[in-house]
Amino acid sequence: MLRSSWDVVVNATASRPDLVPLDSLAARISDRLWGYSPWMIWLTPEEPEVVDVSPAVNLSALGNIALKVNQVATEKSTLQKAAEQARLTVIEEDLLSYIFDVVRPDTPSDTMLKLLSTPQSHFIRRQPGPDDERLLPETVVKSLGVPSSVISAALGGIASKLDLNSGT
């Protein structure tokens, strides 16, 4: 398969998750792609595959989970430690990092911090919500380059392993 064809299939899964079922070969290799060749090349795993039993979560829950990540993790190092302890998969780590970058963008400048801490300031820090375009399935699928079925399973894994399940 050509790599560009893979990208077309992956992007189409944002609106049609059934194109790449979670138990398919295409879903299983989505975190094993290698290089930037015109051909789609993937690495075979060195150890037997471990099936994750976390239930898949509808991608419409991304906004709610992003808000919970925002409440739980004040800095990336805290989140990374929690991810290591929870033994997240590669895709779960990538998705969690993406969500963290949405809810906690680059550290604001000193000037912006002063403005934000000033009582008279009219600046409002933007909080992600369920309708945030960065958390739309199409955007996440395209950004991560992974079929939506895999992202749904990873979202379920994150919610379960980091105990973010309440209300999703």
Count of structural domains, the chain: 1
Distance of alpha carbon 35 from alpha carbon 31, whole angstroms: 12
Query: Residue range 34-63: average pLDDT?
Result: 74
Write out pLDDT tens, residues 96-132. Answer: 888 888 876 654 444 444 544 544 444 444 455 545 6
- Helix, strand, coil % in the chain, rounded to nearest 5: 55, 0, 45
Asked, for residue 30, whether it belongs to a domain, the answer is no
Asked, for residue 129, whether it belongs to a domain, the answer is yes
On whether the pTM is more than 0.85, the answer is no
Range of the domain at 62: 58-161
Asked, for residue 108, whether it belongs to a domain, the answer is yes
The whole-number pLDDT of residue 81 equals 79
Model confidence at 79: pLDDT above 80: no
Write out pLDDT tens, residues 128-147. Answer: 554 568 888 889 999 999 99
Asked, for residue 27, whether it belongs to a domain, the answer is no
Asked, for residue 10, whether it belongs to a domain, the answer is no
Res. 48 pLDDT band, cuts 50 70 90: low
Query: 63 CB contacts (<8 Å, ≥6 apart)?
Result: 128, 129, 130, 131, 132, 135
Question: What stretches of 14-134 show up as alpha helix (H) in DSSP?
Answer: 25-28, 62-72, 76-86, 90-103, 110-117
CA angle 30, 13, 36 (to 5 degrees): 40
Q: 3-class SS at 33?
A: strand
Asked, for residue 134, whether it belongs to a domain, the answer is yes
The whole-number pLDDT of residue 144 equals 92
What burial class does residue 30 get, using C-beta atoms within 10 Å of its C-beta: 0-12 exposed, 13-18 middle, 19+ buried? Answer: buried
- Contact in structure between 164 and 65 (CB atoms under 8 Å): yes
Write out pLDDT tens, residues 6-41. Answer: 999 999 999 999 999 988 888 988 888 888 889 989
Asked, for residue 95, whether it belongs to a domain, the answer is yes
